[in-house]
Every structure is written in C-alpha cells, then in structure tokens.
Amino acid sequence: MIFVAMLLLAAQGRVYEIKGDAEVVLYHKGSLTLKLGSNATTGYSWTLELKKESYLECSNLDGTYYPPEKQIPGAGGYELFELKCKEGCVVGHAEEIKLRYSRPWEADSVSVRTIIVRISDEANGAL
C-alpha cells in the first residue's frame, strides 16, 4: 500500500526526501512532495510553516504520516507534505519554508529544516 501511495505521488510531482536543509524545485503548474522520516510512537511529528504572504500552499501543514512497512515496536515511518503554487506564483521566485520536528505539548523543536523552494517553468525542474 505504501509503495502504491509513493507511485501516485511521484506521478503528481517530484518527491524530495529531506534529511537536512535543502533546496528543491517546484514546477509552477505542478506540485512537489517533501518526505521526512518520522516516528509517531515518540509523540514527535513534523509541522510545515509557511509565511503569511506565501505564494505556496500545502493542504495539510501537519503532514500525512505513513507507518513503517514492517510493524516493529519503535520503528519510524515518514511524513509527506505536498506543495503547490498559489495564484500569483512567479517563475524564478524562491521562498524559504521551515519544517519543525516537535511534540505538540512542548514549546521547543528538536529539529528544524530550512527548505528553499525555487519556482520553475519546466516540468523537469530546470530553472
């Protein structure tokens, strides 16, 4: 089932596996998916932060969690975030977003990822 979900996502747009700060390319008429390792059994999860005036949109700022394929106690899965351009998105524009890994009841994040999203006019991701 997870494999099928990844194939469907890949058909919609590029999937980027995020392990640190990164730069990604978004085709202005398409979408991209950010994939981050996550372990819901610890209470931690990723949250996406967009600027108020952002030209990007994400339907679920808390991501969608997928458990590991093998159900081993304590094993981590991953979270997915899909980004698209809003109206007014300009080719060549770059926007910084943040992903925070934290527990909802704690004030501090244990990890923060800074992602630069560059908008492209080519489906293959060229600028």
Q: What is the pLDDT along the chain (127 residues), one digit of tens a residue?
A: 444 344 344 445 799 999 999 999 999 889 999 999 999 889 999 999 999 999 999 999 999 999 998 888 888 999 999 999 998 888 999 999 999 999 999 989 999 999 999 999 876 555 4
The HSE-up count of residue 107 (CA atoms within 13 Å, CB side) is 0
Residue 1 has what pLDDT?
41
Residues in CB range of 117: below 8 A, 6 or more apart: 24, 25, 26, 32, 56, 83, 94, 95, 96, 97
Backbone φ and ψ of 3, nearest 5°: -60, -40
Residue 88 has what pLDDT?
86
Q: Are 10 and 101 in contact (CB under 8 A)?
A: no
Q: Of all helices (H) and strands (E), which one includes residue 37?
A: strand 31-38
> pTM, whole model, 2 decimals?
0.85
Q: Give the C-alpha separation, 30 to 44, whole Å.
A: 30
Q: Give the C-alpha separation, 63 to 94, whole Å.
A: 22
Q: What are the structure tokens assigned to 12, written together?
A: 């919609």
